Amino acid sequence: MATRQKRIGFIGTGAMGLPMMTNLVQAGYRVRAFDADGVRLAAAECAGAERGADVGDVAASSEVVFLSLPDSRAVEEVVLGPGGIAEALDETLGFTLIDTTSSKAATSERVGAALEAKGAKFLEAPVSGGVGGARKGTLAVMVGGDEAVLAENREVLGAVGKSVIRAGALGAANIVKALNNLLSATSQLAVAEAALLAARAGLDLETFARVAEATLGSSDALRRKLVGNMLAREGTSAFRLTLLYKDLAYATELAAKVKVPDLIAGLAREVTADAHQRFGADAVALNIIRALEAWASDEPRVFPEL
């Protein structure tokens, strides 16, 4: 495959970042990567990236830099902190930062303003589809920022995602991402509650699920999470509880800001916090189903171990 001309940087080569970066390499881009974790950085090299010395080195040697970081605090540190991207640019023109982190809208607005002052461009681009989607290059990419900047970078975003949709100005995409995960979590909890009721009432769980799939009760949470991941054991979500809790916290913070009741979001956040305490920070988010079951009673368990 011919090497593409645009020089790409990638900062944060963890569970989501590494496969996204790998797809950029496989699409023919020359990629310079950095991660504070040496093991992750070595994995990026094995996947075909050049090793960056630090954040500033990656920024100074790239036309487009992707971020894939844990949260908004990490984004602000990497971009705005000492030795960060903004400092390394030194008013360099023609530079674009694309942040795939699930972050806060306010963080995107601050980062965008700081980069604009340096003559640089910024897109927030949180993704959905999990590690499996990242590996396959089929992620849904939600973009916040200027339409013209998105047009300039559609091709490179197409290397990591199948669907690239502009949500609006900076901040809009991260709001959509938080609300998307709110819908995902609450859908899973509704399915879990119905399934738990069915099982405790003496129904066969797989029969209940098959019937529900043929009705208006059908949902992605029912098909993929309950039937696929838990009952058929067709893999399990790699999305961690810590990250789900972060997104639900963003959603409830937004609810307080815009004065909307967070009855459902607040309950989902509470169950997720309980699951986090029961199963640990590194447990997968699907454990919210098991946490809901644990709330119900001390009866024999219905849902399998993950």
Domain boundaries, the chain: 7-168, 175-296
**Is 267 strand, coil or helix?**
helix
pLDDT grade for 97, boundaries at 50, 70 and 90: very high
* Residue 300 confidence (pLDDT): 66
- Residue 239's pLDDT is 81
Residue 287's CB is within 10 A of a number of other CB atoms, namely 26
Q: What is the pLDDT of residue 298?
A: 65
Among the options 177, 225, 257, 259, which is catalytic? 177
CA distances from 219 to 104, 209, 216, 242 (A): 28, 11, 8, 24
Up-side HSE of residue 235: CA atoms within 13 Å toward CB?
A: 8
102 has pLDDT over 90: yes
pLDDT of residue 150: 98
Q: Alpha-carbon distance 192 to 271, whole Å?
A: 12
How high does pLDDT run on average in the chain?
91
Say which CATH architecture domain 7-168 belongs to: 3-Layer(aba) Sandwich (3.40)
**pLDDT category, 290, cuts 50, 70, 90?**
confident
**pLDDT-derived band at 8, boundaries 50, 70, 90:** very high
- Sequence-distant (≥ 6) Cβ neighbours of residue 102 within 8 angstroms: 71, 126, 174, 177, 178, 181, 243, 246, 247, 250
* pLDDT at position 227: 83
Mean pLDDT of 34-55: 97
Residue 264 has pLDDT above 60, yes or no: yes
Confidence of residue 297 (pLDDT cuts 50, 70, 90): low
Q: Is 177 a catalytic residue?
A: yes
pLDDT at 203: 92
pTM exceeds 0.85, yes or no: yes
Query: What SS3 class is residue 278?
Result: helix
Give pLDDT, residue 93: 59
| Per-residue confidence (pLDDT) for residue 229, from 0 to 100 | 80
What confidence score (pLDDT) does residue 306 get? Answer: 65
Q: Is 130 left (phi over 0), alpha (psi -120 to 50) or beta?
A: left
Per-residue b or e along 128-153, where b marks 16 or more CB atoms closer than 10 Å to that residue's CB:
bbbeebbbebebbbbbbbbeeebeeb
How many alpha carbons fall within 13 Å on the CB side of residue 49?
32
- What is the fold of 175-296? N-(1-d-carboxylethyl)-l-norvaline Dehydrogenase; domain 2 (1.10.1040)
Mean pLDDT of 26-46: 97
Indicate if the pLDDT at residue 280 is higher than 60.
yes
pLDDT of residue 238: 74
- Which residue's structure tokens are 């971009």? 79
296: confidence class by pLDDT, cuts 50, 70, 90: low
- Using 50, 70 and 90 to split pLDDT, how confident is the model at 114? very high
> Residue 206 — very low, low, confident or very high, per pLDDT cuts 50/70/90?
confident
pLDDT for the residue numbered 268:
93
- Give tens-digit pLDDT for 157-204: 999 999 999 999 999 999 999 999 999 999 999 998 998 899 889 999
Task: Give the pair of three-digit tokens for residue 135.
Answer: 């590996």
pLDDT band for position 230 (50/70/90)?
Answer: confident
Q: Say how far apart CA 3 and CA 23 lie, in whole Å.
A: 13
Render pLDDT for 118-137 as a digit per residue (tens, 0 to 9). Answer: 999 999 999 999 898 999 99
pLDDT of residue 183: 94
